[in-house]
Amino acid sequence: MKQHRTHLLVCAGTGCVSCGSFKIKEALEQEVLKRNLQDEVLVIATGCNGFCERGPILLVQPDGVFYQKLTVEDIPRLVEEHLLKGRPVKKLMYVPPAKKEPIPKMKDIEFFKHQRLIVLRNRGRIDPEKIEEYIGFDGYEAMAKALTKMTPEEIVAEITASGLRGRGGAGFPTGKKWEACRREKATPKYLICNGDEGDPGAFMDRSVLEADPHAVLEGMIIGAKAIGAAKGFIYIRNEYPLALQRMEIAIGQARAYGLLGDDILGTGFDFDLEIVQGAGAFVSGEESALMASVEGRIAMPRQRPPYPAQKGLWGKPTTINNVETWATVPNIIRRGAEWFAGLGTATSKGTKIFSLVGKINNTGLVEVPMGISLKDIVYGIGGGIPNGREFKAVQIGGPSGGCIPRKLLDLPVDYESLTEAGAMMGSGGMIVMDDKTCMVDVAKYFMNFLRDESCGKCVSCREGTQRMWEILKDITEGKGKESDLDLLEELAQTCKDASMCGLGQTAANPVLSTLRHFRHEYEAHITDKRCPAGVCKALIRYLVIAEKCTGCLSCKNACPTQAIKGTRADIHSIDQSKCIKCGACLEACHFDAIETRRDEAIQII
């Protein structure tokens, strides 16, 4: 391996790629060549760095300097100043919200400072398409240990002792799951990696698959030895093309190196893997539905028990874990159960990856020890709410989860506390909402999602989600009735009690948790016909604030229906009969002179 003094690590996760990071990489390579630095400086595309908001991202190592929001035009100067003259370019560094001074080093940036990277240890550090780099950072060491020095019983015991719980949603102890499958006599046994990350707002699995695919493979090989499986499947949703591509490359390399296939590392152990591509169905994330999908059938869940450990894929014992869980396994085997169990809380061990998105300054992917408070995540790592607005709630756990209000900000993030508060860990999506987010609208959003994604097997879920959605829709349109809230609660309870799989059983959570913590917002919609957040179209109208309007014509030009009147330097006004409430004027105004009024006087639709 040729030595270079400096490595330029360009983030090539989906987020940065869509901001043009491959063009940045190309420009860097050209500039390095132009300056004759190609023997000293190496340009590498890494997986997702996590701070997606700031893409395209470049990390210069060993200096540790973090550049963000790069454009191709920035590159010549960056190369000359930093790489040639040793003067990092301040203009391209990250400046925290409401601060003036840039922070040069990645490790000093709040977003990164409080994270504890275990599963994401290789993110932004290795080229995910080069197996040598993964091996260079202790990759496949745990696998070698498991295959040569440990019995299946010892592997399972180690995982059990670590306290690892499934990272995909319910938090079932991984060791227990493995043990049940290991004890089964029937053969063949199968292994599945659930990469059908369906929760909207969660993308840690995508990131792991893109940034460190070999970690998932290594975890699965260890798992295969533990339960005695010879064949595994990695199910990846088709909405993640880059993840599919990187995993394919990884499997190809692992096979070529003899880390998959027959006689792995010469230990006599055989195991091989196949990628199965999803076809777009949220319910396929449910384990029995996922197995049906792997078999090529409709992803419809079935009654459990029997659990997959007894009767799984093609009726054979099967262990199924999600991407993050598999990627955690090598770390536990390499560093020991005790080390892992030393992180986190009494019942929730280790770290968890959260995707911090929505109305928050530092959006991206964060890995933190379990038990950290919500406040530390939202304000410490996330840097608070943009535009000086007020934090209202954080939605955790996707469509199965719930909204946690401001007063519970000190809540420690672990499986039990979240469930207690009416949310759930789920896969770890955290969507931050501010005072401009309407909670009834959020509930309606999730119900719309669920009624669409319900597979239709159970009446309670198929019809329940539909009816709940209709009621919520009525409420947001100002047609809600006093009795609706009771009806919602009853429907929610039925859906929970009578549905067979996790989707139906938790479908009511978004409604129940918003009802529990934000009942007053429902009441405002129903009684006062008013949307306090100014979101629900039927209950608001767009108005020009005369004192702020400068008559710049921006809104008038943006309006698609010519509803805005006024000439240059003249205060504009909106013709309500023509306004379609599309929000284009609000977006176009540079002076905050457009507001959404929500007083109860409005009856016009």
Show contacts with another protein in window 545-584 (CB under 8 A).
558, 560, 580, 582-584
84, 186, 546, 569: residue in contact with another protein (rule CB under 8 A): 84
Please work out the total of residues on this chain that contact another protein, with binding judged by CB under 8 A.
Answer: 107
174, 194, 363, 499: residue in contact with another protein (rule CB under 8 A): 363
Asked if the bond preceding 241 is cis, omega within 30° of 0, the reply is no
Tell me whether residue 190 or residue 415 sits nearer to another protein (CB atom): 190
Report the DSSP pairing between strands 190-195 and 58-61: unpaired
CB of 183 to another protein, least distance (A): 27
128, 364, 383, 464: residue in contact with another protein (rule CB under 8 A): 364
d(CA 150, CA 266): 15
User: Dihedral through CA 292, CA 295, CA 298, CA 300, nearest 10?
Assistant: 0
72, 161, 170, 298: residue in contact with another protein (rule CB under 8 A): 298
299, 418, 512, 564: residue in contact with another protein (rule CB under 8 A): 299
Tell me whether residue 115 or residue 355 sits nearer to another protein (CB atom): 355
CB of 2 to another protein, least distance (A): 5
CB of 483 to another protein, least distance (A): 28
Tell me whether residue 179 or residue 441 sits nearer to another protein (CB atom): 441
Tell me whether residue 164 or residue 418 sits nearer to another protein (CB atom): 418
Question: Which part of the chain contacts another protein (CB under 8 A), choosing from 180-188, 294-302, 411-419, 460-468?
Answer: 294-302
CB of 486 to another protein, least distance (A): 27
Tell me whether residue 132 or residue 338 sits nearer to another protein (CB atom): 132
66, 94, 140, 542: residue in contact with another protein (rule CB under 8 A): 140
- Check residue 158 for interaction with another protein (CB under 8 A): no
d(CA 47, CA 14): 9
Report the DSSP pairing between strands 231-236 and 190-195: parallel
- Check residue 522 for interaction with another protein (CB under 8 A): no
- Check residue 595 for interaction with another protein (CB under 8 A): no
CB of 214 to another protein, least distance (A): 12
Which class for 456: exposed (0-12), middle (13-18), buried (19 or more C-beta within 10 A)?
exposed
* Residue 165, token pair as written in the block: 């719980």
Site for another protein in 399-458 (CB under 8 A): 429, 431, 433, 437, 442, 445-446, 449, 453, 455
By the 8 A CB rule, do 271 and 230 touch? yes
CB of 193 to another protein, least distance (A): 16
CB of 490 to another protein, least distance (A): 26
d(CA 453, CA 424): 19
Tell me whether residue 344 or residue 383 sits nearer to another protein (CB atom): 383
Of 525, 449, 435, 439, give the one whose Cα is nearest residue 480.
Answer: 525
d(CA 393, CA 232): 40
Question: Which part of the chain contacts another protein (CB under 8 A), choosing from 15-23, 168-176, 186-194, 333-341?
Answer: 15-23
- Check residue 368 for interaction with another protein (CB under 8 A): no
- Check residue 301 for interaction with another protein (CB under 8 A): no
**What are the angstrom distances between the C-alpha of 489 and each of 28, 145, 266, 445?**
57, 52, 60, 17
* Residue 102, token pair as written in the block: 């840039």
- Check residue 197 for interaction with another protein (CB under 8 A): yes
d(CA 222, CA 147): 7
Write out the H or E segment, with its range, that includes residue 533.
none
CB of 367 to another protein, least distance (A): 15
Site for another protein in 18-77 (CB under 8 A): 18-19, 39-40, 51-53, 55, 61-65
Site for another protein in 262-281 (CB under 8 A): 263, 265-267, 276-281
- Check residue 166 for interaction with another protein (CB under 8 A): no
- Check residue 307 for interaction with another protein (CB under 8 A): no
CB of 113 to another protein, least distance (A): 13
- Check residue 195 for interaction with another protein (CB under 8 A): no
- Check residue 96 for interaction with another protein (CB under 8 A): no
- Check residue 245 for interaction with another protein (CB under 8 A): no
Write out the H or E segment, with its range, that includes residue 415.
helix 415-420
Which class for 153: exposed (0-12), middle (13-18), buried (19 or more C-beta within 10 A)?
exposed
Tell me whether residue 357 or residue 413 sits nearer to another protein (CB atom): 357
Tokens 């990469």 locate to: 195
Work out the angle between the directed axes of helices 323-335 and 213-227 (0-180°, nearest 10).
70
- Check residue 354 for interaction with another protein (CB under 8 A): no
Question: Which part of the chain contacts another protein (CB under 8 A), choosing from 291-299, 370-378, 411-419, 492-500?
Answer: 291-299
Tell me whether residue 239 or residue 523 sits nearer to another protein (CB atom): 239
26, 29, 138, 477: residue in contact with another protein (rule CB under 8 A): 138
Q: Where are the alpha helices (DSSP H) in 103-229?
A: 110-113, 131-136, 141-149, 152-162, 174-183, 204-211, 213-227
Report the DSSP pairing between strands 58-61 and 6-11: antiparallel
Side-chain half-sphere CA neighbours of 575 within 13 A: 11
Tell me whether residue 178 or residue 240 sits nearer to another protein (CB atom): 240
Of 463, 467, 457, give the one whose Cα is nearest residue 501.
Answer: 457
**What are the angstrom distances between the C-alpha of 463 and each of 55, 199, 243, 459?**
42, 21, 35, 6
d(CA 319, CA 42): 41
